[in-house]
Structure 1
C-alpha cells in the first residue's frame, strides 16, 4: 500500500482505536452522552477513510496524484475538526457548534472531491 492509500488507511485505524476507546469508556461508566461522537468517529473516520484508502490502493496512479493528497488533507482535517467539536459539544461546551459545522463542510467537500475522483476513474473509457 502506498500513496494516499497508505495515509487514509493509517488514519482509519487510528479513528477506529479512538472510536472503540470512546465506546469502551461509555460502556464502563454507563454515561452515554458521546454516542453521536462515537458514531461519527466510527463511520466518517474509520469506515469512510478505510474505503477511500482501499479505492486508492486499487487505483495506485490516482492515489499518487496531488488531487488524492488534497482529498486526504480535506477529508482528514474535516473529520478531526468535526469529531473533536462534537466531543466538546456533547461534553457541554456548545461554543464549538461552529467547529462542528466547519468540520462537516470539510467532510462534505472531501466526499464531493472523492466522488469526482472515483467516478471519473471508474467511468473513463
Structure 2
C-alpha cells in the first residue's frame, strides 16, 4: 500500500485510536456527552477512511490522479475540523458551531468528490 491509499489507511488508524480512547473515557467516567463525537470519529473517521484506503489500493490508477490527492487533503483537513469542532461544541463551547459547520460541509464535499472519482472509475469501459 502506498500513496493516497497509505495516507488514508494511516488516518483511519489514528481515528480508530482516538475514537476508541474516547469510548473508553466515556465508559470510565460514566459521562456519555461525547457519544455523537465518538460515533462520528468511528464512522466518518475510521470506517470511511478505511474504505477510501482500500478503494485506492484496489484502483491504483485512480489513486495516482490529482483528484485523489485533493480528496485526501479535503477529507483529512475537514474531518479534523469536524471532529474537533464537534468535541468542543458538545463540551459547551458554542463558538465552535461555525468550525463544526465548515468541517461538516468540507467533509460532505470530500465524499461527493470520492463519489465522482469512484463511480467514474468503476463504470469506465474496460
TM-score by length of 2: 0.98
What stretches of structure 2 of length at least 5 have no aligned partner? Answer: none
Given that 1:2 and 1:60 are in contact with CA atoms closer than 8 Å, whether structure 2 keeps it comes out as no
Distance (Å, rounded) in 2 between the aligned partners of 1:83 and 1:16: 13
- Determine the C-alpha separation between the residues in 2 that align with 1:84 and 1:64: 30
Deviation per residue, 1:46-81 (Å, 9 max, x gap): 000000000000001211221101000001111100
Find the counterpart in structure 1 of residue 67 from structure 2: 67
In the other structure, the counterpart of 1:113 is 113
User: Deviation of residue 8 (structure 1)?
Assistant: 0.3
Counterparts of 1:107 and 1:70, CA distance in 2: 12
Q: Compute the displacement of 1:42 (Å).
A: 0.4
User: What are the ranges of 5 or more consecutive residues in structure 1 without an aligned counterpart?
Assistant: none
Q: Spell out, residue by residue over 1:16-50, the C-alpha distance to the aligned partner (whole angstroms, 9 max, x if none).
A: 00000000000001011100000000000000000
1:57 and 1:46 map into 2 onto residues whose CA distance is 16
CA separation in 2, counterparts of 1:3 and 1:73?
Answer: 12
1:104 and 2:124 aligned: no
Runs (4 or more) in structure 1 with deviation over 4 Å come to none
Provide the rounded CA distance (Å) in 2 between the counterparts of 1:64 and 1:27: 42
Alignment of 1:1-125 (within 5 A): 1-125=1-125
- How many residues were matched structurally? 125
Distance, in Å, in 2 between the alignment partners of 1:20 and 1:71 is 25
TM-score, normalising length from structure 1? Answer: 0.98
